[in-house]
A and B are shown apart, each in its own frame.
Chain A
Amino acid sequence: NAGVTQTPKFRVLKTGQSMTLLCAQDMNHEYMYWYRQDPGMGLRLIHYSVGEGTTAKGEVPDGYNVSRLKKQNFLLGLESAAPSQTSVYFCASTEVGNEQFFGPGTRLTVL
């Protein structure tokens, strides 16, 4: 099993460009999450999903959109990237009340 995978691993964007980050899990987990990690800020939840076709806002949702059209995939979109969105993005998945399994992360730089 691959666990949780993320694509791409690295990306550089110019201000105003858009992109989509893909998270995929092969553990048949219901719950999936998108976090951003910034120095001194820990892991902050952007959006999450409790099942196929559902999404909910987390702590820092502004400037991001998500979709969960298939149970195994959770997409994070940036419609108009800003330098403040420079960060490392982690996806995670879990069954209810159990360990979150994280992906390897995507390092995004917005110039």
Chain B
Amino acid sequence: GENVEQHPSTLSVQEGDSAVIKCTYSDSASNYFPWYKQELGKRPQLIIDIRSNVGEKKDQRIAVTLNKTAKHFSLHITETQPEDSAVYFCAAGRPGGYQKVTFGIGTKLQVIP
């Protein structure tokens, strides 16, 4: 099955700096890579996703890059704000049929004002 490794497990940045979270996956057939944000005591919510037919996707201050050859993908947050403080999860998989996505262990991001 799919194995997703995520690092770092914790990350502290100054407000306004950039944050980068990296994930690697093992199944070369995986074609869907979502990122979820979970605020303290809340449910995970999708913030951005990318499919294997593109190498980069942006949404305002958030971007995700995918390197299929190396089987890794990254989340980039620019101009970080205190409200970006949360746990971020990457995931990888082949949704459809009995396929599913596998989550990384999460990165706790702290943005220091």
Contact = CB atoms under 8 A, between A and B. Distances in A.
A56 B98 contact: yes
Interface residues of A, number: 25
A11 B101 CA distance: 28
A43 B100 contact: no
B32 A97 contact: yes
Interface string B15-59: 000000000000000001010100000111110010000000000
Looking at chain B's contact residues, the main secondary structure is strand
Given A40-B9, A42-B89, A42-B103, A97 B44 contact: no
Interface of A: 31, 33, 35, 40-45, 48, 50, 56, 58-59, 90, 94, 96-100, 102-105
Contact of A99 (B49, B97, B102): B49
Given A42-B106, A90-B43, 8 more contacts: A35-B103, A43-B103, A45-B100, A50-B98, A59-B102, A97-B96, A102-B43, A102-B44
Interface residues of B, number: 24
A103 B100 contact: no
B8 interface: no
A56 B98 CA distance: 8
Nearest to B31: A97
B103 A96 contact: no
Choose among B6, B32, B46, B103 the residue with the greatest number of A CB atoms under 10 Å from its CB: B103
Contacts of A90: 43-44
Interface in B53-77: none
Contacts of B89: 42-43
B11 interface: no
A99 B95 contact: no
